[in-house]
């Protein structure tokens, strides 16, 4: 199988087929070794192997970047939800304290004051 000796149209068609085959990389590696042992120039086969390696590496990098972006997005959303929840709880506590103080003052009762000063005993 001498793929690189075929006309350009056939080589392009074979390259499409090679990218869909599971063992295309092994076939190309075998082709490089065959060309090396027979004394032919394996430059094109090596270049295509490099292309396949780079595309696999790029796919993996894109996958990792996508996963990191998704994790950051999820963390950011969770952070916003938590901040909002604490802000709402704080507002509820504040307004509860304000309204309870108003109700107590209307009723004429004053909240007990805790005396934190030490008692002087004689």
Q: What's the pTM value of the predicted model, to 2 decimals?
A: 0.42
Per the CB < 8 A criterion, the answer to whether 111 and 104 are in contact is yes
Give the pair of three-digit tokens for residue 16.
């499409």
* pLDDT computed for residue 83 by the predictor: 97
Q: Where are the domains of the chain?
A: 3-79
Q: In the predicted model, is pLDDT for residue 96 greater than 80?
A: yes
Query: Bigger pLDDT: 41 or 85?
Result: 85
- In the chain, alpha helices (H): 8-20, 24-38, 43-107
């Amino acid at each position: 199988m001498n793929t690189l000796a075929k006309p350009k149209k056939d080589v392009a068609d074979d390259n499409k087929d090679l990218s869909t085959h599971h063992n295309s990389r092994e076939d190309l590696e075998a082709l490089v070794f065959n060309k090396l042992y027979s004394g032919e120039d394996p430059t094109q086969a090596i270049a295509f192997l490099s292309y396949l390696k780079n595309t696999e590496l790029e796919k993996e990098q894109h996958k990792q970047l996508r996963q990191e972006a998704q994790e950051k997005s999820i963390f950011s959303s969770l952070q916003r939800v938590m901040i909002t929840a604490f802000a709402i709880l704080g507002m509820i506590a504040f307004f509860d304290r304000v309204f309870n103080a108003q109700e107590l003052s209307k009723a004429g009762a004053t909240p007990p004051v805790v005396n934190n000063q030490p008692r002087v005993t004689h």
